[in-house]
Amino acid sequence: MGWDWNYAIAILPEMLGALRVTIEITLLGSLVALVLGLVIAVVRRARIPVVDQLLWAFVEFVRSTPLLVQVFFLFFVLPRFGIVLGAFAVGVIALGVHYATYTSEVYRAGIDAVPRGQWEAAAALSLPQSRVWTGVILPQAVPRVLPALGNYVISMFKEVPLLLGIGVVEVVNKAKELSSETFRPIEPYTIAGLLFLALSLPASILVRRLERRRAAV
Amino acid sequence: MEFFRGTSEVVQLFWIYFVLPVLVGIQLLPLFAGVVVLGLNHGAYGAEIVRGAVSSVPKAQVEGAKALSFSPRDIRWRVVMPQAVLEMLPSFNNLFIQLLKSTAILSFIVVSEVTERGVQVLVPNFGDDIVLIFVLMLLIYLVLAVLITAVMRWLERIGARRLGRRPSASARTAAVAAAH
């Protein structure tokens, strides 16, 4: 059994439709990860007793356990507590929260890299705390870490297929469906791989270019 | 390398497990397919870590060793490597934890690992204890991750002592930020 072009072209529209789902989950998940990560980083910076330790424990726990198990947990265990989420929502939340623990570390590194003088100057001008963050610290910290954040978005894109475990019809699940309908695994899985490459390669080149530009500044 | 870094592990796993047999007529055992995919995948990242660590050793170290007429082999194994290995350990710690977490995807090709046993065997049979089952699964991974970190920290201390240095806290935090 070799490569069949007719079959490959016939399934392409369906595969692209599934790719759309993958991209939607990636973008929404990234939004959660980027916002929640920033919140975690800023709150941890305040070093509030108890809250800080709890956040530390949460971040370490999420980072040390598999995303797939967390996905299953949200999908199968939460309904026991009366919280019923659809597979798509579970995917977005699980990916977003998992990667928020990574992005929070990235933001932290970026915030730590802002010179102390900036904090002192902001304090000397008696800026309110909110403006210290939004007007002084974050505009300097965030651009510095954009390449690292970009890499995590690419990682998230590649982790979306885990959601086939709870029945989200993303690229790999679609390939699985098609190959079990037609008993031809070659084309669907190969197309799935190529679709991932087609998006993640240009994205990582973009991130690398951004990295170099940052390094040059 | 770009292929492994550019596609999803699940795609690679399914490709090697479902497509390869049709193409070349070799059906891999699920566990073997899993070891190959995870090994190659994380190996690609590991190679990057080693390259970075070796190039982070100051050039003066090599020049100094040359001036003392060390052989090229001794320069590599007795001067550069001991310093590079210490540099690699924090990144490898992260890599091993990533690898540990990735083993869960082998449940998709029915390797009887923790996640597969939990979700396919325990949950259908003991559905009432689903909370307990998941807490235990998560704890198993957490304990393994803590063990990996403990061993790597211990190796770091040994490595630093053999170089006559103190293990640096900054190197560790830098590695955490640079992971992935």
Assess whether pLDDT exceeds 80 at residue A94: yes
Show the 3-state SS of A69-133.
Answer: HHHHHHHHHHHHHCCCCCHHHHHHHHHHHHHHHHHHHHHHHHHHCCCHHHHHHHHHCCCCHHHHH
Tens digit of pLDDT for each residue in B38-67?
A: 999 999 899 999 999 999 999 999 999 999
- In terms of average pLDDT, the best of A2-16, A96-110, B105-119 is A96-110
Helix, strand, or coil (residue B149): helix
Of B141, B140, B168, B142, which Cα lies nearest the Cα of B153?
B168
List Cβ neighbours of A24 (8 Å cut-off, separation of 6 or more).
none
| Shortest alpha-carbon distance between residue A66 and chain B (Å) | 4
Assess whether pLDDT exceeds 50 at residue A199: yes
Phi, psi of B32 (to 5 degrees): -65, -45
Specify the pTM: 0.89
- Name every chain B residue with its beta carbon within 8 A of the beta carbon of A62: none
**CATH code of residue B116:** 1.10.3720.10
Nearest CB neighbour to B123, from listed A76, A161, A201: A76
Interface check B151 vs A, CB under 8 A: no
Residue A53 burial (10 A CB sphere; 0-12, 13-18, 19+): exposed
d(C-alpha A159, C-alpha A153), whole Å: 10
Structure tokens that stand for A28 in this block: 């929404």
Mutate to test the interface with B, among A44, A65, A190 (most CBs of B within 10 A): A65
- Alpha carbon of A20 to those of A94, A148, A157, A162, B127: distances in Å? 19, 24, 11, 16, 34
Domain count for chain B: 1
- Given the candidates 1.10.8.870, 3.90.550.10, 1.10.3720.10, 3.30.750.24, the CATH classification of the domain at A5-216 is 1.10.3720.10
Q: Supply the pLDDT for residue A92.
A: 97
Q: B70: which DSSP letter? A: -
Which ipTM score applies to this complex? Answer: 0.87
Q: What one-character-per-residue DSSP string does B89-127 give? A: HHHHHHHHHHHHHHGGGGGGGT--SHHHIIIIIIHHHSG
- Give the count of alpha carbons within 13 A of A58, CB side only: 17
Phi, psi of A19 (to 5 degrees): -60, -35
- Alpha carbon of B169 to those of A41, B47, B90, B173: distances in Å? 19, 24, 10, 7
Report whether A18 contacts A164 (CB < 8 A): no
Interface check B59 vs A, CB under 8 A: no
Helix axes B169-178, A87-112, angle to 10 degrees: 140
Interface check B4 vs A, CB under 8 A: no
Residue A98 burial (10 A CB sphere; 0-12, 13-18, 19+): buried
Instruction: Show which of residues 62-101 on chain B sit within 8 Å of chain A, judged by CB atoms.
Output: 97, 100-101
Nearest CB neighbour to A196, from listed B7, B108, B138: B7
Nearest CB neighbour to A190, from listed B3, B19, B134: B19
Report whether B17 contacts A216 (CB < 8 A): no
Of B121, B101, B95, B107, which Cα lies nearest the Cα of B14?
B107
d(C-alpha B44, C-alpha B46), whole Å: 5
Q: Which residue of A has its CA nearest to B176?
A: A105
Helix, strand, or coil (residue B112): coil
Structural domain boundaries, residue B106: 2-178
Report whether A37 contacts B84 (CB < 8 A): no
- Name every chain A residue with its beta carbon within 8 A of the beta carbon of B180: 102, 151-152, 155
| C-alpha A182: how far from chain center | 33
Q: Supply the pLDDT for residue B28.
A: 87
Say what the alpha-carbon torsion angle B5, B6, B12, B15 is, to the nearest 10 degrees.
-150
Angle at B97 between CA A23 and CA A40, to 5 degrees: 60
What one-letter code names the amino acid at A124? A
d(C-alpha A8, C-alpha A191), whole Å: 8
Interface check B102 vs A, CB under 8 A: yes
Q: Over pLDDT 90: what percentage of chain B? A: 69
Q: What is the mean pLDDT of each run of 10 residues along chain B (180 residues)?
A: 83 92 88 93 92 93 94 93 93 95 94 91 88 94 96 93 71 53
Interface check B155 vs A, CB under 8 A: no
Confidence label for A216 from pLDDT (cuts 50, 70 and 90): low
Pairwise CB contact (< 8 Å): A193 & B9: no
Of B97, B103, B107, B80, which Cα lies nearest the Cα of B45?
B97
